[in-house]
Amino acid sequence: MSTYVERDVACPHCGKSSRRNVAESLNLGRSPHLAEPIIDGSFQTFRCESCNQQVVVDHPMMVIDFDRGWWIAHYPRAWEHSWESGERHSDATYQDTMVTYAPPIVAELREGLQRRVVYGLDALREKIVAWSAGLDDRWLELVKLEVWRAEPQLAFRPEARPRLFAAGDKTLDFWATTVEGTSKVLRVERVRYESTRDGADITRRAFVAALGEGTYVDLARIAFAGEDDSANVANP
């Protein structure tokens, strides 16, 4: 089942605190409609009653769908630089909730679960959209990197990583950031994904294998390794 807890949420614009119902876990198998606000970008978004600015509650939560085999640990985007401890924390959570303290029925449910760690609601949406469309997120990251690098008008920085937000039969749509700092839709033909995967050389296959070495499957795992980690204060 899905669980919520009441929390004081501070507005990042004016500091005004308000009491909010915040999700701690979402069970999309039982309640598929809970994915809709994540997809459309309205999830845990509200107007601050003091300054009227939009506030997005970016809070740790689990997103689980046993029917489709998804087990996703979502953490706030601000914690992403410490993804290695995020992976360890999510492994421990999985061990506790799905193995050690789990009822016997869970032993069947956890068969074949795909486990992931994501940071920020746009990264969570990307996984849900990709998996719903039958895409392997590791290959999707490689396609993203190649398309992104080939577009000189796009900013090439970790915080400007394109994020998939829609996947149709023929097209994949990413939100991307230009060098001027504006958002734009980066549209990629879906056939590009298939041809990249099917025609990959040994270097690309090694890159994809390295992306899949843990549960944090994101370009930042490899392409931006070596970032300054001294601000590592927000370990979950």
Within 13 Å of residue 35, how many CA atoms lie on the same side as its CB?
20
Strand segments (E) across the chain = 3-10, 17-27, 45-47, 54-56, 61-65, 70-75, 114-119, 163-167, 171-177, 183-189
Q: Which is nearer to Zn ion, 55 or 62 (CB)?
A: 55
CA torsion through residues 96, 98, 100, 105, sign: positive
Interface residue list for Zn ion (CB under 5 A):
11, 13-14, 16, 48, 50-51
Distances (CA, A) of 54 to 13, 46, 88, 175, 218: 9, 6, 32, 19, 27
Phi, psi dihedrals of residue 73, rounded to the nearest 5°: -95, 115
**Shortest spacing between CB 19 and Zn ion, in angstroms:** 14
Q: Closest separation between CB of residue 17 and Zn ion, Å?
A: 9
The whole-angstrom separation of Cα 63 and Cα 82 is 20
9/118 with CB nearer Zn ion:
9
Task: Give whichever of 13 and 149 is closer to Zn ion, judged by the CB atom.
Answer: 13
In terms of CB distance, is 13 or 205 closer to Zn ion?
13
DSSP string spanning 199-229? T--HHHHHHHHHHTTSS--SGGGTTTTT---
CB of residue 8 vs Zn ion: minimum separation in angstroms? 13
Report helix, strand or coil for 232: coil
Nearest distance from residue 235's CB to Zn ion, in Å?
28
SS (H, E, C) 84-113: HHHHHHHHHHHHHHHHHCCCCHHHHHCCCC
CB of 182 to Zn ion, least distance (A): 24
- Of residues 48 and 186, the one with the C-beta less far from Zn ion: 48
18 versus 97: smaller Cβ distance to Zn ion:
18
**Residues paired with 175 in a beta bridge:** 163, 185
Q: In the complex, what is the shortest distance from the CB of residue 74 to Zn ion, in angstroms, rounded to a whole number?
A: 24
